Chain A
């Protein structure tokens, strides 16, 4: 168990180091002199030199890398070129909004996908199965930004039921917050629901054909009890993994969804940063998202190694 945790944590650390190297190299690939980028167009040679001195751009590259990583570990990701505010702070004030959006999206996805997936697996090849699989296929294929536009058109423009865009903090106006969150959360959750449903169906089908389920049925347990008490627990383990792996797609989806519904979160921040060529901000955002992805998946793996003894034993035996 301990060996598995150490091994898993070690791999994550290696991954994080590689990520930081990729981001660092990526930023160096930006054409042009970084000092000029930071100073803007009107700076003279003396001003540029001052900036090079200030940011240590004259040091050897490995030294620059180590200093950058050191600062990043203490939470210092530099400052935004545009607003001159610290990158960490800029991201930190936007993040809760996106997390609320993503949280609702995950809730909606789980609430739809797991019952539908279990039903499709239990009633395999029935009308329900066909229906669920069809909807899931549509969910994967529909571009979520178009779905968002269509929802705005139908629900806000035509029917006038919900506001089309904007954001109010929850503590100021809870109802208004929820009214503005429900559509973006639904749009963001669609693709996730489709993927989760497919996974739930497949792993439930596998679990339901396992020997211990046959035993449970043979000893006379009712179908419902077999599904709910025995099958779901194991059937949902792969679903949790997939949920972890989908975090990246969810972050990407949030960028688009926030753009359509004008939600002032992390995603809008990123897009603005690209257009204003705010390199430190883009760099910080890319680094934070990739690291978050690694940590979330580490947490998922560790948490279910506690749930399933087979995984920790197999993991310790050393498969890759």
Chain B
């Protein structure tokens, strides 16, 4: 059984001590063995953690104010004082990249959280009750999916105006149908499992079944999907900000930095290196970590 089994499902309730006592160590050891087999995923996790630390610790890591302009230091090549060089307004690129990680993380994590908060309950209800409601939800989802994410975001930003919040909202809404579909599919198969049927026979109501028995068992699959959607969302925020539809200057977002860099490719190419490299390495690490997580949680291997 997987880790979800120890999470208060019918199996764990019916067969209490015997399995749950033996499980954690075995699970940990198995997990460790798999981690060792996938060094790339471990490296991905570490880089993601470094970015998270950078985002949280930005004020202590980047001691130079990312917004302070200095007319004496316009587009200076990297030096010890400014290891990533300075930008077209003489601001320190290193501290802008560091602060930019905050914006990227915020946009990436909150948009996917939003997508899950909206999508998962809808998908649960659709998959659990089936019938006309399910049909209605699925047709709506089909239509929703037909809007390419960027076109949807462009439409929403036109209506609501450009800002980080609206960009996050647009990205989250764009990712929602994926979660509706995924949750619905997982619910369809999970609700026919013996332990769910057993809980139903014991008199558990619909809401309790969905919350306590179906949801915990599909959670790991949703988590894997989230680690794959977060890098996409991070890139999406950068694209929107690059186009001027997301974070507005002077806020240090990797997308807006690249937008400025594009005008000075010949004279100050370093302005373009670091923000892009940051997006790339963060997205790549998330994807690697997601691959590892998928392996770790895949019940097929048990």
Contact = CB atoms under 8 A, between A and B. Distances in A.
Contacts of B265: 149, 152-153, 157
A247 B150 CA distance: 12
B284 A138 contact: yes
Interface string B245-281: 1000000000000100110011001001001100110
A255 B261 CA distance: 19
Given A249-B148, A274-B157, A256 B242 contact: yes
A259 B241 CA distance: 13
Interface residues of B, number: 46
Given A143-B283, A145-B258, A252 B158 contact: no
B149 interface: yes
A140 B287 contact: yes
A255 B154 contact: yes
Interface size class of A (residues with CB under 8 A): 35 or more
Contacts, number: 145
Contacts of A153: 265, 269, 272
Interface in A242-281: 247-249, 251-253, 255-256, 259-260, 270-271, 273-275, 277, 279
A320 interface: yes
B143 A15 contact: yes
Nearest to B280: A142
- Grouping DSSP codes into helix (H, G, I), strand (E, B) and loop, the B interface class, with mixed when no group exceeds half, is helix
Main SS of the interface on chain A? helix
A18 B139 contact: yes
Interface string B149-168: 11110111111000000000
A248 B158 contact: no
Contacts of B286: 141
Interface of B: 135, 138-140, 142-152, 154-159, 231, 235, 238-239, 242-245, 258, 261-262, 265-266, 269, 272, 275-276, 279-280, 283-284, 286-288, 291
Interface of A: 11, 14-16, 18-19, 22-23, 26-27, 29-31, 137-138, 140-143, 145-146, 149-150, 152-153, 157, 247-249, 251-253, 255-256, 259-260, 270-271, 273-275, 277, 279, 282, 285-286, 289-291, 293-294, 320
